[in-house]
Amino acid sequence: MANDIRQDIIKMLVEAGSGHSAGPLGMADIFTALYFEVLNHRPKQPDWPERDRLFLSNGHIVPVRYATMARAGYFPLEELKTLRKFGSRLQGHPERLRLPGLESTSGPLGSGLSQAAGHALALRMDGNKARVYCITSDGEHDEGNIWEAVLFAAKNKLTNLTVIIDRNNIQIDGPTEQVMPLGNLAAKYAAFGWHVIEIDGHNMQAIISACDLAKAIVEQPAVIIAHTIPGKGVDYMEYDYHWHGNPPGTLETPGAPPKAEQAKVALHELRTLGGRIRSEHE
């Protein structure tokens, strides 16, 4: 399923002619685990009061959320082709009022964790047992608002809140440790009073097990630091920050095929798992 979602992402971005590649490809395994195993949700009842809430703080990676939601049954797969089009429900950053199943409108980095923490506190005040999950990027930890929310969640012992950090070590201007060194995020969150779990963000069982463990933590919010590969599955994109905000066919980088061939090469690699299996299209 995660591999199908990666192919959906490439097709969506090519159709749109703009959008982010590296982050969505890198987070496909985590979104697959969330929507098909972890979250308590009902695609046909997106406003079900008892649903778990998923906040996407780094809204620019929303193509992976749209593709996963479509695969989970929230809306038809054909609608993915409308990404970033005028009038589409699938805007370049998620808009809560456009598409049922989105909990927040996001775009300004660093804001999502504050929204998620406030929502988690409100659920607890209402006696609602639903859980709140918040996806954040490592790069947006440059924002001070993130750390205010980290303090707030620990102070209020929001055990119904689980944060997942996409630790892919890149942001739009370069490697995170060159732009603004983040250092040891695990130690920082622990010092702020959080329960910290570190995983391989491409190991499906590790993702699911970490989310299960987070549910068992008491008196603390939990953070899962997921080490991921930006551009996962497309060889010429992997680890290259230049593909943070560019779709196939728009950029020339060392080792990448010509622009006209980039989408075809990307889809072939994803269909064949890097050439390890034979494609049904061959």
d(CA 104, CA 85) in angstroms, rounded, equals 20
The phi, psi pair for 135, rounded to 5°, reads: -90, 130
Complete edge-to-edge strand list for the sheet that includes strand 222-227: 53-56, 132-137, 161-167, 222-227, 195-200
Q: How confident is the model at residue 204, as a pLDDT?
A: 98
Q: Smallest Cα–Cα separation from 196: which of 217, 178, 176, 171?
A: 217
CA angle at residue 172 from 170 to 177, to 5 degrees? Answer: 40
Domains of the chain: 2-227 (3.40.50.970)
Q: How confident is the model at residue 280, as a pLDDT?
A: 55
Q: Kindly report, residue by residue over 49-97, the tens digit of the pLDDT.
A: 999 999 999 999 999 999 999 999 999 999 999 999 999 999 999 999 9
**What's this model's pTM, rounded to 2 decimal places?**
0.96
Cβ(67)–Cβ(99) below 8 Å: no
Q: How confident is the model at residue 254, as a pLDDT?
A: 93
Is the model's pLDDT at 38 over the cut of 80? yes
Q: Kindly report, residue by residue over 149-175, the tens digit of the pLDDT.
A: 999 999 999 999 999 999 999 999 999
Q: What is the DSSP letter of 257?
A: P
Q: Kindly report, residue by residue over 212-254, the tens digit of the pLDDT.
A: 999 999 999 999 999 999 999 999 999 999 999 999 999 999 9
